[in-house]
A and B are shown apart, each in its own frame.
Chain A
Amino acid sequence: MSRPLRRFLHDATVASADAPQRDFLRKALGGYYASRDTQKARYRDWEHARDAAALAKWEAVGDLGRHLADFTARFESNGGKVHWARDAAEARSIILGICREAGARAIIKSKCMTTEEIHLNDALEAEGYGVVESDLGEFIQQLRKEPPFHFVFPCMHLRREVISDLFTRHLGSAATDSPEELTMIARRHLRQLYVDADVGISGANFLVAETGQVSITENEGNARLTCALPRVHIALAGIEKVVARLDDLSVLLPMLATAGAGQPMTCYNTLYAGPRAPGEADGPEAFHVVLLDNRRTALLADPEQRDSLHCIRCGACLNVCPIFKNIGGLAYGTTYQGPIGSVLTPHLRGLKNWNHLSGASSLCGACTEACPVRIDLHHHLLRNRRNAVRAHGGAVDRVFHRLLGWVFAHPRVFALGGSLFRRTLPLLRRLPLPYLRPWLRSRDLPAPPARSFREQWKDVQP
């Protein structure tokens, strides 16, 4: 058993037994469902709009090389600098190099899951930089030294009392049970840090090939501040973030907001074309974009699952996933949680160690139905299971399914086996059998009928 699987089994067992916490999560998501449905109803046709969004991303990813080249040329002609990173280590060293060259001391970050993917904060801190996450949820998770629970709602698992205690301990604030007051405590604490920071690090939601712009979506305004006040701005982006045209965003921005948070538009959707331009009042002197591969090209090489690179990280699939809602985001042990994480992680970090996430799904398809860009999420879990059997299948498992196939190919053997199973079930129940025992731990089995359907069929012929 791989270490990630051992950890997953342990954490998922603990989390799924925590009924109050599960209720808390479901309640927190209740408001999301209501506002999402209200906003979706404003679309003249959400399903058609999803088609167009899927098409925009398909066009972008299907000609990724050209779009990245166009983005780079235009971004650099606007005065920015593009860097390419084959893997996490390369991305970290590029970013550290920029910080060193800038003579930075303090770094402010706006929310960026890709920096979590490459473990950037640890690398920056190891070099002595002070790094502060400015998104409220990320700030809270940073104080807790815990990874984000949900890649859009990082601390949705925390009750206000926990956050109040955390702030008292780290910021010396008075205890409060008001989410508003807690938000203001963080606001006051972070404000001066924006002004003092030398480098701002952000992610990117979209890179526009046509114009060379970096598009950043956020609600709080922390990314706006991160990209306005420090001298240097670094944006880290996966290569799949590129879209062909500015107009594509007229579809993707509202759909991201509606699917992800039940909003008509996220509060701030900002397009950055480069560093401060001549004649502008402010903005960074330098703007770097770091384009990260980190095995995305391996996923790109799989035409069957290539559409998982269409993901716009809205989080809708997590919000509707019954697995996510019952085990929470931390149990996954991944940068990207929920269905999209279960699809991506085996590609990004290896199928051998992460295929259990494909198995930990009832394949209900709520994710696929929720995805604004129509990624075939739950079917990809099936494909990952198939790929895992092909690449790393165990002998026992293989023999079991061969045997099962043989039984099903012989109706008489099947009927005999079924009859035997029905007759011996009272005995079997008491044996520590795989599959049967775990079922019976929490669920009953109906008493088996004396005769099967095929046995009774003869009786009911006219």
Chain B
Amino acid sequence: MRVSLFIPCFVDQLAPRVGLAAAQVIRGLGHEVEFREAQTCCGQPSFNAGHWQVARESALRALDVFRGAEAVVGPSASCVAMMRKFYPEVLAGHPRLEEARELGARTFEFGEFLVRRLGVTDVGARLEGVATYHDGCHGLRELGLRAEARALLGAVRGLRLVEAAEGETCCGFGGLFSVKYPMISTAMAQVKCEALARTGADLVVSSDPSCLLQIGGYLSREGKAVRTVHLAEVLAAR
């Protein structure tokens, strides 16, 4: 299969290793991976801020960029949710609505792609340590993902997976919310991070780089030694 990577804007600029790891894992399974350089951002920042006209333009661009791609895979549940669930919403009544639905159907979150589309849980990864998985809300509730990442992590040699309390509680990122209402966002980060830290895990894994930005940023400020990594990075470890 030829997989077209969908690298969210901030992963491109701030966490390129996540995209590289995702490509490495998919290639390791014997598939071709391409990156279409015309892509930038899914439009979620403007969508969440209420500027749907701007988001609509981003959606239409994405339809052009990913035209003909067999499968589009993004290492960010939040951005994939934007494409699958919210493109049809911003394009309601638009002549390209069907096209958006069709793109949504062949766009996958990274872990979802491996487990549901490829039927793979063991990618041959090895990583010593204790990990806890954080469900990003978009993956959990917009895409209905929960078991996929756990199945993948469960197959990593040397890795022990522990569950945290407040398992389905939001980390408090929420895009612009985190900077418009930083006091609430930080309180939420505190609740989440204390629960994650109580597990004793040395790795916090998530499929959402934006949650990792929040959790990692808070843990680092609090001086906690817990490391935050993306699922793709764990699966790329050998």
In the complex, whether A388 has a CB less than 8 A from a CB of chain B is yes
**CA of A409 to CA of B65, assembled, Å:** 11
**CA of A344 to CA of B57, assembled, Å:** 30
Taking CB atoms and an 8 Å cut-off, the chain B residues in 1-39 that contact chain A are 7, 9, 11-17, 19-20, 23-24, 27, 35, 37-39
Query: Is B179 in contact with A435, judged by CB distance below 8 angstroms?
Result: yes
- Interfacial chain B residues near A72, Cβ < 8 Å: none
In the complex, whether A192 has a CB less than 8 A from a CB of chain B is no
Mask of B119-159 contacts with A, CB within 8 angstroms, 1/0: 00000000000000000011011100000000000000000
Mask of A356-388 contacts with B, CB within 8 angstroms, 1/0: 000111111110110000000001001001111
- Interfacial chain A residues near B40, Cβ < 8 Å: 407-411, 414
- Interfacial chain A residues near B175, Cβ < 8 Å: 363
Residue of B nearest to A401 (CB): B51
- Interfacial chain A residues near B180, Cβ < 8 Å: 359-360, 438
- Interfacial chain A residues near B23, Cβ < 8 Å: 460
Query: Is B179 in contact with A365, judged by CB distance below 8 angstroms?
Result: no
Residue of B nearest to A360 (CB): B181
Residue of B nearest to A355 (CB): B50
In the complex, whether A223 has a CB less than 8 A from a CB of chain B is no
In the complex, whether A114 has a CB less than 8 A from a CB of chain B is no
- Interfacial chain A residues near B108, Cβ < 8 Å: none
Residue of B nearest to A422 (CB): B13
The secondary-structure label for the interface of chain A is: helix
Q: Report, as a range, how many residues of chain B touch the other chain.
A: 35 or more
**From B13, B168, B218, residue with most partner A Cβ within 10 Å:** B13
Mask of A119-149 contacts with B, CB within 8 angstroms, 1/0: 0000000000000000000000000000000
- Interfacial chain A residues near B199, Cβ < 8 Å: none
Query: Is B184 in contact with A402, judged by CB distance below 8 angstroms?
Result: no
**CA of A397 to CA of B14, assembled, Å:** 25
In the complex, whether B118 has a CB less than 8 A from a CB of chain A is no
A322 and B172 in contact (CB under 8 A), knowing A401-B51, A443-B189? yes
CB distance from B22 to the nearest CB of A (A): 10
CB distance from B197 to the nearest CB of A (A): 15
In the complex, whether B61 has a CB less than 8 A from a CB of chain A is yes
Query: Is A385 in contact with B49, judged by CB distance below 8 angstroms?
Result: yes
Query: Is A442 in contact with B221, judged by CB distance below 8 angstroms?
Result: yes
In the complex, whether B191 has a CB less than 8 A from a CB of chain A is yes
For chain A, the count of residues having a C-beta within 8 Å of the partner chain is: 69
- Interfacial chain B residues near A364, Cβ < 8 Å: 137, 141, 169-170, 174
**CA of A323 to CA of B186, assembled, Å:** 11
Query: Is B50 in contact with A393, judged by CB distance below 8 angstroms?
Result: yes
Query: Is A453 in contact with B217, judged by CB distance below 8 angstroms?
Result: no
**Which stretch in A151-159, A243-251, A291-299, A444-452 binds the other chain?**
A444-452
**CA of A67 to CA of B189, assembled, Å:** 46
Set A326, A365, A368, A454: member contacting B37, Cβ < 8 A = A454
Mask of B158-194 contacts with A, CB within 8 angstroms, 1/0: 0000000000111011111111111111111111000
Query: Is A362 in contact with B177, judged by CB distance below 8 angstroms?
Result: yes
**From A405, A421, A453, residue with most partner B Cβ within 10 Å:** A453
In the complex, whether B41 has a CB less than 8 A from a CB of chain A is yes
In the complex, whether B214 has a CB less than 8 A from a CB of chain A is yes
Mask of B36-66 contacts with A, CB within 8 angstroms, 1/0: 0111110101111111101001100100000
Mask of A168-207 contacts with B, CB within 8 angstroms, 1/0: 0000000000000000000000000000000000000000
Query: Is B54 in contact with A362, judged by CB distance below 8 angstroms?
Result: no
Query: Is A16 in contact with B183, judged by CB distance below 8 angstroms?
Result: yes
Query: Is A409 in contact with B12, judged by CB distance below 8 angstroms?
Result: no
Residue of B nearest to A419 (CB): B13
**CA of A460 to CA of B7, assembled, Å:** 15
Residue of A nearest to B13 (CB): A418
CB distance from A379 to the nearest CB of B (A): 8
**CA of A366 to CA of B48, assembled, Å:** 17
Taking CB atoms and an 8 Å cut-off, the chain A residues in 419-442 that contact chain B are 419, 421-422, 434-436, 438-439, 441-442
**CA of A360 to CA of B180, assembled, Å:** 8
Query: Is B14 in contact with A446, judged by CB distance below 8 angstroms?
Result: yes
In the complex, whether A60 has a CB less than 8 A from a CB of chain B is no
**CA of A365 to CA of B170, assembled, Å:** 9
A362 and B7 in contact (CB under 8 A), knowing A369-B141, A409-B61, A444-B220? no
Query: Is B191 in contact with A366, judged by CB distance below 8 angstroms?
Result: no
15 A-B residue pairs with Cβ-Cβ distance under 8 Å, sorted by A, are A322-B172, A322-B191, A362-B170, A363-B177, A365-B137, A365-B141, A382-B50, A397-B51, A405-B46, A408-B41, A409-B40, A411-B39, A444-B221, A449-B14, A453-B19
**Contacts A322-B169, A385-B48, A438-B182 known; 7 new A-B pairs at CB < 8 A:** A16-B187, A325-B191, A326-B184, A359-B180, A389-B51, A408-B9, A441-B186
Give 3 closest A-B pairs by Cβ, nearest first: A362-B174, A443-B217, A385-B50
